[in-house]
Amino acid sequence: MSDAPAHSRAPRWRRRKEARPAEIISAALDTFAERGFAAATLDEVAARAGVSKGTLYLYFPNKDALFRAMVRETVLPHIATAEGMLPAPPANASAAARTPELLGAVIRMMAIRIAGTAAAAVPRLVIAEARNFPDLARFYMDEVIARGFAVLRAILERGIAAGEIRPIDIAETSRCIVAPVLLAAMWKSALEPAGGAPIDLDALCRTHVDLLLHGMAPRGEPTGGRP
């Protein structure tokens, strides 16, 4: 008989029950990234997380629910951070960052925190599986894309109103802003592991913002400011 205290002999999962959902979500992200959503199974996710399939079902009733939770835990916090970077009108308007600086900060934050982490696999998964799982694609559009575009729209509208950028098509400009970040995520999660040249996210962001600000500068001005 062991002389170890009862608490030290307790099963690993019993001692840290509160950590299970996060560890299951992390395992799901790795499994979905390697296998694809369609091919991955909950048995594989459970094994990777070190739990039984029954334990996984206590938190996530099916693979769709697990995928949605994964998106909410790995991507939405960064969207919320971007939303929090917007100035609160009107009290802080005079002290808020100018539009060029704000736009540059948001783009860099999104690139580093999504394209530069394991979360880069999420947009790749959505694009790859959208035709076969349209409900998940709509969920991603509603909870991620719509909120991200709303942040960009608020920044661009503020810049136009302040005369810091020229009048532009906000919807199409927002897509142009997102495109290099999406490319970086796809490259980092799919092409770089296959031998593609590494992307320097800092350099990409600097170049992207510089081109944006020159392209959106008020008429007659050489640039809209530096990020």
C-alpha distances (whole Å) from 172 to each of 4, 153, 156, 220 are: 65, 10, 11, 23
φ/ψ bin of 221: left (φ > 0), alpha (ψ from -120 to 50), beta (otherwise)? beta
pLDDT band with cut points at 50, 70 and 90 for residue 219: confident
Q: Note the CATH architecture for domain 1-63.
A: Orthogonal Bundle (1.10)
CATH class as words, domain 75-216: mainly alpha
DSSP tally for the chain: helices H, then strands E: 12, 0
pLDDT band with cut points at 50, 70 and 90 for residue 220: low
Whole-model pTM: value is 0.83
In the chain, where are the structural domains located?
Answer: 1-63, 75-216
Q: What is the mean pLDDT of the chain?
A: 87
Q: pLDDT tens across 53-101, in order?
A: 999 999 999 999 999 999 999 999 999 999 999 987 655 555 557 999 9
Q: pLDDT tens across 150-175, in order?
A: 999 999 999 999 999 999 999 999 99
